[in-house]
Structure 1
Amino acid sequence: MTIATYRRRNIGPPAIEADTHIFSTGQSVRLKGRIGGAPATNSYRITGTLPPVNGSPQYRIRNEEERHERVATQDSLEQVDSVDDDGNATLSERTFGHG
């Protein structure tokens, strides 16, 4: 075996790109409900993006009622649906949309 053959054999598989961030800075999100607990109702604002951990992108999030920021992975967040300007959307409209 030559050195060139040895080097060719030990080149690992191509690097796998990390998942991309689906949320952007300034967007409103909420933490997904946890097993055995009530779903989270507090909304958070994305204040920054962070590198992935174990293939899941991370975000810095902040709730206006708290004095600190949190770090959350993308798989633990969900987008907050926007409500009409007057805020009078019914549950069925929020769930299934208008129409």
Structure 2
Amino acid sequence: MDKPSLLILDDEKEVLNALNRVLRKHFQLYLFSDANEAIGFYQDNPNIPLILTDMRMPVMDGATFLGKIIDINPHCKRFLLTGHADINLTVTAVNEGKICHY
């Protein structure tokens, strides 16, 4: 049986490595530390149904990234991961990234 595909974006390599170890048995993973590379990949592979991103990143925050993903495929499920609880970021993530889970 095929594993569901999951694209993960996080600017910290250690976090990507940890998520890879935990999730690789259950998902076909596509891991990125650069938002623009992840968007380019997703444009070529818009049928990946699950997207997980960090919120705070240096070039593009997670809400902005998810907004761009929505433009490509509004039907994918979007999840936001963060180590910083911030109500303003949560509101931005809900409004711009239309996240499924925070």
Greater length-normalized contact order (CA 8 Å, ≥ 6 residues apart): 2
TM-score (norm 2): 0.21
TM-score (norm 1): 0.21
| Structure with more of its chain in helix, by fraction | 2
